[in-house]
């Protein structure tokens, strides 16, 4: 059996600072690189061509899925890998990707997506999730939605068990697009909100409860928490009305908003209902622990944070903030032990947090403060 082929498909605009690193991360093993340029005014297209990519000009129509699907029409390979210019794939190393593609029965394969959120790339300051990026070509899979486009998996594999369709690949994909310097430079809030509001005004919006979630996320990123809370709750209601269980990340966003507004009483006891829906979601347990800590229920909080540590930072279907199952949980354990007057246990917890994440400075500061007290 011949080796399966792979087409890289991208859409870009004014990405001259990032596109070379993106293409370089995959160029040695993909069979073709298709770059759909939606109107770059810089050297993006020239850089892509110099690296062997086919660059296709496309007139931007405010619809990300349309642009991506234009690239898919030109892809000849057995498999599609889709990336953005602000992403880089980890090196394959000894991993035999083509063997996996040849042997898998799945039609869609997910990677470990690392969404950086800080000032500089740091895996400890990032959200982690398994995200579908490889899919079989020529079976009808394509993108839908004008923004936050997604594959039409449910439409193609209607009523089929997703365990037969989805698989994973142990490779990391690093995404810089929501680091603060880039979001400011590209004014992503204004761009995204314009497209989301356009999408919300279309007839198709009635069948897409994700729109309200994405609007909530945009408001959350610019600290407009009242509007974020309104829209995340609307998204939850719309999922329920459509007969679907609201995805776990909606509850994560809801309780993150409540924390940022100081609404601890509003978060309790509702967090218990969210955990009942997603008992394996470590971030929700972490939020419960923080609620217990803020309410002064230190012994209960310790039990919750220990549970988080036992669960660990697992990357899967849930959107995980790195550290909720490790260094963040240890740090809050330290805070609880301090409140209970056990500085020795607090020091041990802070040491563990700092050991797990040396860039986690608040744990280091707490550790130094307590050691000075103890000496």
- End-to-end alpha carbon distance in the chain: 69
Across the strands, what pairs with 56?
36
Mean pLDDT of 12-38: 97
Q: What is the pLDDT of residues 95-128, one digit of tens each?
A: 999 999 999 999 999 999 999 988 888 999 999 9
Asked if residue 65 has pLDDT above 80, the reply is: yes
pLDDT at position 215: 96
- Report the relative pairing of strands 126-136 and 320-321 from DSSP bridges: antiparallel
The angle that helices 327-339 and 298-311 make with each other, rounded to 10 degrees, is: 160
pLDDT reported for residue 97: 96
> Hey, do 6-180 and 267-375 end up sharing a CATH topology, with the first three levels equal?
no
> Residue 375's pLDDT band (boundaries 50, 70, 90)?
low
Residue 160, pLDDT above cutoff 90:
no
Where does the pLDDT of residue 158 fall: very low under 50, low under 70, confident under 90, or very high at 90 and above? confident
For the chain, the domains span 6-180, 267-375
Q: Phi, psi (5° rounding) for residue 170?
A: -80, 55
Mean pLDDT for 182-201 is 80
- Using 50, 70 and 90 to split pLDDT, how confident is the model at 178? confident
**Burial environment of residue 262 by CB neighbours within 10 A (0 to 12, 13 to 18, 19 or more):** exposed
SS3 105: coil
Tokens of residue 326, six digits: 């490790």
pLDDT of residue 1: 62
pLDDT at 207: 77
pLDDT at 200: 86
> Does the pLDDT at position 374 exceed 90?
no
Q: Is residue 48 within 8 Å of residue 55, measured between CB atoms?
A: yes
- pTM of model > 0.85: yes
Assign 371 a pLDDT band (cuts: 50, 70, 90).
Answer: confident
Mean pLDDT score of the chain, rounded to an integer?
Answer: 93
> Is the pLDDT at 332 greater than 70, yes or no?
yes
Q: Which of these CATH numbers, 1.25.40.10, 3.40.50.10140, 3.30.460.10, 2.30.110.10, describes 267-375? A: 1.25.40.10
pLDDT at 189: 84
CATH class for the domain made up of 6-180: alpha beta
The whole-number pLDDT of residue 372 equals 83
DSSP class per residue in 139-192: SS--EESSSS-EE-HHHHTTT--GGGTEEEEEEEEEE-TTSHHHHHHHTHHHHH
Question: How far is C-alpha 5 from the chain's CA centre?
Answer: 27
For residues 310-332, average pLDDT: 94
pLDDT band at 177 (very low <50, low <70, confident <90, very high): confident
d(CA 10, CA 314): 28
What are the tokens at 262? Answer: 């100081």
- The least confident of 78-87, 207-216, 303-312, 347-356 is 207-216
Token pair in block for residue 186? 């590209």
Q: Supply the pLDDT for residue 139.
A: 96
């Amino acid at each position: 059996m011949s080796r399966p082929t792979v087409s890289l498909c991208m859409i870009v605009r004014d990405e001259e600072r990032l596109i070379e690193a993106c293409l370089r991360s995959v160029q040695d093993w993909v069979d073709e690189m298709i770059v759909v340029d939606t109107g770059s005014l810089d050297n993006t297209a020239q850089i892509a061509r110099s690296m062997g990519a086919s660059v296709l000009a496309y007139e931007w129509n405010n619809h990300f899925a349309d642009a991506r699907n234009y690239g898919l029409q030109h892809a000849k390979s057995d498999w599609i890998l889709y990336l953005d210019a602000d992403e880089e794939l980890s090196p394959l190393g000894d991993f035999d990707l083509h063997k996996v593609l040849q042997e898998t029965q799945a039609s869609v394969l997910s990677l470990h997506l690392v969404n950086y959120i800080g000032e500089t790339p740091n895996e400890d300051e990032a959200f982690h999730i398994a995200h579908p990026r490889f899919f079989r070509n020529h079976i009808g899979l394509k993108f839908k939605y004008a923004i936050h486009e997604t594959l039409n998996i449910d439409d193609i594999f209607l009523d089929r068990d997703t365990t037969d369709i989805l698989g994973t690949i142990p490779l990391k994909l690093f995404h810089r697009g929501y680091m603060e310097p880039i979001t400011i430079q590209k004014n992503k809030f204004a761009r995204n909100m314009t497209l989301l509001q356009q999408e919300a005004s279309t007839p198709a919006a009635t069948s897409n409860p994700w729109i309200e979630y994405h609007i909530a996320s945009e408001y959350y990123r610019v600290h407009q928490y009242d509007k974020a809370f309104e829209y995340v709750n609307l998204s939850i209601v719309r999922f329920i009305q459509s007969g679907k269980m609201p995805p776990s990340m909606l509850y994560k966003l809801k309780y993150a908003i409540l924390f940022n507004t100081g609404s601890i009483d509003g978060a309790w006891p509702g967090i218990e209902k969210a955990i009942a829906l997603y008992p394996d979601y470590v971030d929700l347990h972490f939020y419960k622990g923080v609620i217990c800590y803020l309410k002064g229920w230190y012994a209960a909080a310790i039990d919750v944070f220990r549970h988080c540590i036992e669960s660990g930072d697992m990357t899967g279907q849930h959107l995980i903030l790195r550290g909720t199952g490790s260094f963040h949980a240890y740090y809050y354990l330290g805070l609880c032990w301090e409140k209970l007057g056990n500085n020795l246990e607090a020091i041990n917890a802070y040491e563990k947090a700092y050991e797990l994440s040396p860039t986690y400075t608040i744990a280091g500061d707490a550790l130094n403060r307590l050691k000075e007290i103890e000496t």
